Amino acid sequence: MPSIKSLSKGLQVYKTIVAYDKPIYAKQLCEKLNIEKSTMSRLLKTLLDEGFISYLENSHTLIATPIHAKAEKKTKIELIVQKTTTLLNEIHTQTNECAYLGIFDNYKVLYLNQVDNSNRIIKTRNNIGLQAPLHTNALGKSILAFGNYDIEKIKLNPYTANTITDIKKLKKSLNEVRENGYAIDDKEYQDAMRCVAVPLFNHENILIASVGISGTKERLTLEKSKEFGKILSDIVNGYTIVV
């Protein structure tokens, strides 16, 4: 049976990174394996997306992710999803809006799960697996406000006219999140949508994720968003998550 060329090349790249045993640049990989830059870019993106490799912090060099670490991360993610499904259902029941679960992932928020059992004709798209910039949405801002992360590393790119693109304004916004206990995305990632989110801590009071809701700007007015922020806080405070 003939081999799959793209898979074969991807494995070659991964094995080369592992064998090199120190951080390596994409350019070096191109030279070592005689692979064109565009092809290498696609191969590396796949390996990065699947968690087999990662960038060394604050650099453009690549390192291999140990397989056991990848497996442990997958297991932890599956456990978080399993332990919070009831919570998301409760959030959806009390708000009648699409409920989400997100975690910090390489200075982005990774959407792990969502629940929308409404009877609306047009529902929120499936966002599971989506990565979104932390500064643009309620899940991300909730994680930044209550986690221990270096916000100077965030690229404050604009996505709408309301996106926060100034570091001082972001810091002020995060202080407000801490004071209120919840975060609001006021059309900062998508023009027609608002989101509300709260931090989620485990039984040892360690931040593990963020949960929240999203809805159209017509349904989720700012006043309604603040009301839901308090409701979300009350719901989450009644749950003990052991992971």
d(C-alpha 23, C-alpha 34), whole Å: 19
Q: Does residue 2 surpass a pLDDT of 50?
A: no
Same fold, 5-65 and 70-237: no
Place of tokens 């599956």: 78
Of the candidates 78, 12, 81, the one whose C-alpha atom is nearest the C-alpha of residue 40 is 12
Q: Does residue 235 surpass a pLDDT of 70?
A: yes
pLDDT of residue 73: 61
Entry pTM: 0.71
Among 34-38, 47-51, 55-59, which range has the highest average pLDDT? 34-38
Using a 10 angstrom Cβ sphere, with 0-12 exposed, 13-18 middle and 19 or more buried, the burial of residue 67 is exposed
Place of tokens 């604050």: 58
Rounded to an integer, the average pLDDT of 81-94 is 95
3-state secondary structure of 165: coil
Residues 132-172: pLDDT tens digits?
Answer: 999 999 999 999 999 999 999 899 999 999 999 999 999 99
CA 47 centroid distance within chain: 18
Q: Per-residue confidence at 69, pLDDT binned at 50, 70, 90?
A: low
pLDDT of residue 64: 87
d(C-alpha 109, C-alpha 74), whole Å: 16
Q: What is the dihedral of CA 169, 171, 174, 179, to 10 degrees?
A: -100
Place of tokens 């801490």: 178
pLDDT of residue 194: 96
Least confident span in 60-69, 106-115, 137-146, 206-215 = 60-69
- Top CATH class of 5-65 equals mainly alpha
pLDDT of residue 1: 39
CATH topology (fold) of 70-237: Beta-Lactamase (3.30.450)
Kindly list the domain boundaries of the chain, sorted by start residue.
5-65, 70-237
Least confident span in 74-78, 130-134, 170-174, 189-193 = 74-78
Using a 10 angstrom Cβ sphere, with 0-12 exposed, 13-18 middle and 19 or more buried, the burial of residue 126 is exposed
